[in-house]
Amino acid sequence: MSRLVVVSNRLADPRKPAAGGLAVALGDALARTGGLWFGSSGATAADLAPGEGRLRTRQAGKVLLASVDLCAEDHAAYYQGYANSVLWPVFHYRLDLAQFDPAYLVGYRRVNQMFARKLLPLLRESDLIWVHDYHLIPLAAELRALGCRQRIGFFLHIPVPPPLVMAALPQHEWLMRSFFAYDLVGLQSEADVDHFTRSMVTEAGAQELGAQRLHAYGATVRVAAFPIGIDVEEFQALAAAPDAVHTFEALRAEYSRRQLLLGIDRLDYSKGIPQRVRAFRQLLERYPENRNSATLVMIASPSRDDVHAYADLRQELEGLCGAINGDYGTLDWMPLRYIHRTVARRRVPGLCRAARVGLVTPLRDGMNLVAKEYVVAQDEADPGVLVLSRFAGAAEQLEEALLVNPYDTQGMAGAIQAALHMPLAERQWRHQRLLERIRRHDVHWWRQGFLQALEESSSASAA
Ligand code: ADQ
């Protein structure tokens, strides 16, 4: 069995439960093969110059954790700049929010080159390398330039936009070319595979070879959908533990005569949070029987505060939330509770279970794991209803959710009304089907599927 090497922008200690399902699932696989996890530490060091990094290694059980400190300038250009102010908005179809500063791209390349230099000496000949997400797209090309011949796979956690959106990215040819240094590219959904393939064919002149293979620039890459799942058993264990049970009981008692709706996200413009608030307002307006009853709890964890677009979103949201409470609140009922904080992971299942309706309404999302967590947390005898944006990757799998268009405020209000008043039998059959699919396609299925496909691929350098 090959040793697994995971590379991601940030390291998480897989032994800490707060790390979440993905870190735990990758940690399991790493522990089995005695692996290496490589990424940035998130810390910046004043004594480093651009392009320099300080590597630290630490053994955590059978896993070697290797993290790299950057200088503040590199962190700003690579992480806040190119990754989060260019790739994130463009890949979420938000060209209006992208900041195409050429210095960002220079920093992004510089940091990826430095990561390749730091990683190369840690590699063994038979390693299987799994690179994660948009921060590291050119990493394989940089490793290959240094002579790395191991198999390298890439998984993109965010969506792929259609070809003409991708083409708006200055130097997109360079970015596309860098995907061909991988042996396998995994995407979240079939829609993403379609967009990716069409971009490569129209913009990079790639040939489709069949069997999910694309050929361009003298290399062949396999591209396929590997929809990510959650660790169902871990989440169920979390749901049965005291913190989640207490959270559930406290909310049930508080809302015994009211209906609770829940939204949990990072505060990000891709998550459709203002659109959700507008739909909730419309619900109260059009269906007055919900006044003094339906209560929306929204927990939005702080995210990327240092990027401009996020501060604007925060302001917009505070205005919308304040206006609803001002217009519809009474002395003993506030329609909306907006909390700009991260809740402890161990309380999330209790929150989900207490909510009659789970609102997951992104304008675009690679997958969205909250949708899956909400379903798994429900009481099978009396389950709540998932209202899910059709623009989340999860919608391809979760057809029995009430699928909505978050841009259609009236339509979304109608779906929320239907969810609040759905008969028990319908709630149960929808829930059973969703749960069954989420169980079958969990995070272990995802990881095994990807790694097996990578094992089977021949190295790009050998092709
Ligand atoms: P994100 O956009 O960060 O990730 P998402 O899938 O929505 O993520 O959630 C990830 C985790 O964060 C979930 O386990 C959720 O419970 C937790 N979480 C979110 N908000 C929280 C809050 N306010 N408090 C506590 N916990 C919170 C990217 C892509 C997604 C893709 C994932 C995984 O953007 O589309 O699903 O990666 O591939």
Q: Per the domain annotation, does 200 fall within a domain?
A: yes
The candidate with the shortest Cα–Cα distance to 272, out of 298, 304, 306, is 298
Specify the ligand 1 atom closest to the Cα of 342: 24
pLDDT at 16: 64
Distance from the first to the final alpha carbon of the chain: 22
Q: Which residues contact 232 (CB under 8 A, 6 or more apart)?
A: 376, 438, 439, 442
Whether the per-residue pLDDT at 23 is higher than 70: the answer is yes
Mean pLDDT for the stretch of residues 387-405: 98
pLDDT at 461: 42
Mean pLDDT for the stretch of residues 285-300: 96
Mean pLDDT for the stretch of residues 32-53: 92
Angle between helix axes 232-240 and 369-377 (nearest 10 degrees) is 50
Domain coverage including residue 333: 232-439
Q: Please tell me the residue having the least CA distance from ligand 1 atom 21.
A: 265
pLDDT at 462: 42
Average pLDDT, the chain: 94
Q: Per the domain annotation, does 461 fall within a domain?
A: no
- 294 and 342 in a single domain? The answer is yes
3 state DSSP class of 48: coil
Half-sphere exposure of 398 (CA within 13 A, CB side): 34
Ligand 1: distance of its center to the CA of 1 in Å?
31
- 222 and 185 in a single domain? The answer is yes
Q: Per the domain annotation, does 335 fall within a domain?
A: yes
pLDDT at 17: 54
pLDDT at 211: 82
Q: Residue 214: what are its φ and ψ, rounded to 5°?
A: -120, 140
Whether residue 365 lies in the annotated active site? yes
Mean pLDDT for the stretch of residues 229-252: 95
Ligand 1: distance of its center to the CA of 28 in Å?
20
Whether the per-residue pLDDT at 302 is higher than 90: the answer is no
Q: What CATH number corresponds to the domain at position 314?
A: 3.40.50.2000
Specify the ligand 1 atom closest to the Cα of 299: 23
Q: Which residue blocks in 255-307 are alpha helix, DSSP H? A: 273-286
pLDDT at 306: 78
Ligand 1: distance of its center to the CA of 126 in Å?
33
Whether the per-residue pLDDT at 1 is higher than 90: the answer is no
pLDDT digits (tens, 9 = 90+) for 344-375: 999 999 999 999 999 999 999 999 999 999 99
Q: Per the domain annotation, does 221 fall within a domain?
A: yes
- 215 and 311 in a single domain? The answer is no
Ranges of beta strands (E only) in 267-329 are 295-301
Q: Please tell me the residue having the least CA distance from ligand 1 atom 7.
A: 368
Q: Per the domain annotation, does 462 fall within a domain?
A: no
Among 317, 337, 341, 368, name the best residue to mutate to test ligand 1's pocket (greatest count of ligand atoms within 8 A of Cβ): 368
DSSP secondary structure letter of residue 206: P
| Percent of the chain predicted with pLDDT > 90 | 88
Split at pLDDT 50, 70, 90, the class of 25 is confident
Whether the per-residue pLDDT at 217 is higher than 60: the answer is yes
pTM above 0.80, yes or no: yes
- 249 and 334 in a single domain? The answer is yes
pLDDT at 18: 55
- 261 and 184 in a single domain? The answer is no
Q: Per the domain annotation, does 27 fall within a domain?
A: yes
Q: How would you classify the pairing of strands 213-216 and 207-210? A: antiparallel
Whether the per-residue pLDDT at 305 is higher than 90: the answer is no
- 186 and 287 in a single domain? The answer is no
Residue of 157, 195, 431, 441 marked catalytic: 157
Ligand 1: distance of its center to the CA of 77 in Å?
24
Q: Residue 448: what are its φ and ψ, rounded to 5°?
A: -65, -40
- 204 and 258 in a single domain? The answer is no
Residue of 69, 127, 268, 365 marked catalytic: 365
Mean pLDDT for the stretch of residues 415-431: 98
Specify the ligand 1 atom closest to the Cα of 20: 14
Whether residue 215 lies in the annotated active site? no
pLDDT at 27: 79
Whether the per-residue pLDDT at 71 is higher than 50: the answer is yes
Mean pLDDT for the stretch of residues 60-82: 94
- 211 and 292 in a single domain? The answer is no
Q: Per the domain annotation, does 285 fall within a domain?
A: yes
Among 266, 268, 360, 372, name the best residue to mutate to test ligand 1's pocket (greatest count of ligand atoms within 8 A of Cβ): 266
Specify the ligand 1 atom closest to the Cα of 188: 38
Q: Report the 10 Å Cβ neighbour count for 82.
A: 26
Domain count, the chain: 2
- 105 and 238 in a single domain? The answer is no
Least trusted range by pLDDT, from 128-142, 266-280, 296-310: 296-310
Are 300 and 74 contacting, i.e. CB atoms less than 8 angstroms apart?
no
- Complex ipTM more than 0.85, yes or no: yes
Q: How far apart are CA 245 and CA 346, in angstroms?
A: 10
Specify the ligand 1 atom closest to the Cα of 266: 20
- 191 and 315 in a single domain? The answer is no
Ligand 1 cavity residues, CB under 6 Å? 20, 157-158, 228, 264-266, 299-301, 342-343, 345, 348, 365-370, 373
Mean pLDDT for the stretch of residues 257-275: 96
pLDDT at 463: 39
pLDDT at 380: 96
Split at pLDDT 50, 70, 90, the class of 153 is very high
Whether the per-residue pLDDT at 19 is higher than 60: the answer is no
